[in-house]
Amino acid sequence: MASASTADSTGRPPAQRLRGALDQLAALSTPEAPTASALCELAGVSRNALYRYHPDILHALHKLQRQRHRDPGPASRALQRLRDENEDLHHQVTKLAALVDHYFAAWQESSSLLQRRERELADLRRNAKPKLASIRK
């Protein structure tokens, strides 16, 4: 096995070989999760080097393992569907709340404008001196 700091015969560093091997394992359509041993063997890197020098690749491997182990049964699928629906409803409620705020602000503005116009009209009526016009000629 190659060491953690040296390139192999192709000249690629271990991190690059590990990422390539992880991509190959992820592309496989097998139901079983890939192992660290399989990853290291495919990349030509020791497991010790993987654990010691490449924690980011190890984290990606664990993520891939969790995805492969996850067998969504009917209950899990129903739960996920409900969670997705709940998230959609949450977004709709947020939009509706924004609309309610907008229309409430518009109502308040219209109401205050109407009150001001009514005061102006009342002032005009008080200050107007009615002139009586005769209907007879």
pLDDT of 116-134, one tens digit each?
Answer: 999 999 999 888 877 777 7
**Is the pLDDT confidence value at 104 over 90?**
yes
Q: What is the mean pLDDT of residues 51-79?
A: 85
Average pLDDT of every residue of the chain = 88
**Separation of alpha carbons 121 and 28, rounded Å:** 80
pLDDT of residue 89: 96
- Using 50, 70 and 90 to split pLDDT, how confident is the model at 6? low
Q: Is the pLDDT of residue 35 over 60?
A: yes
Q: What is the C-alpha separation between 108 and 106, in angstroms, rounded?
A: 5
pLDDT band at 69 (very low <50, low <70, confident <90, very high): confident
If one counts every other C-beta atom within 10 angstroms of the C-beta of residue 4, the result is: 17
Show the CA angle centred on residue 82, arms to residues 80 and 85, nearest 5°. Answer: 110
pLDDT of res. 5: 52
Q: Which two tokens stand for residue 84?
A: 């997705």
Q: Is the pLDDT of residue 70 over 80?
A: no
Contact 36, 50 (CB under 8 A): yes
pTM for the model stands at 0.47
Gap between the Cα atoms of 20 and 5, Å rounded: 17
**Residue 2: predicted pLDDT:** 43
Amino acid occupying residue 113 = L
CA 27/CA 125 separation, integer angstroms: 84
Query: For residues 41 and 51, what is the distance between their CA atoms, to the nearest angstrom?
Result: 14
**Who has greater pLDDT, 67 or 26?**
26
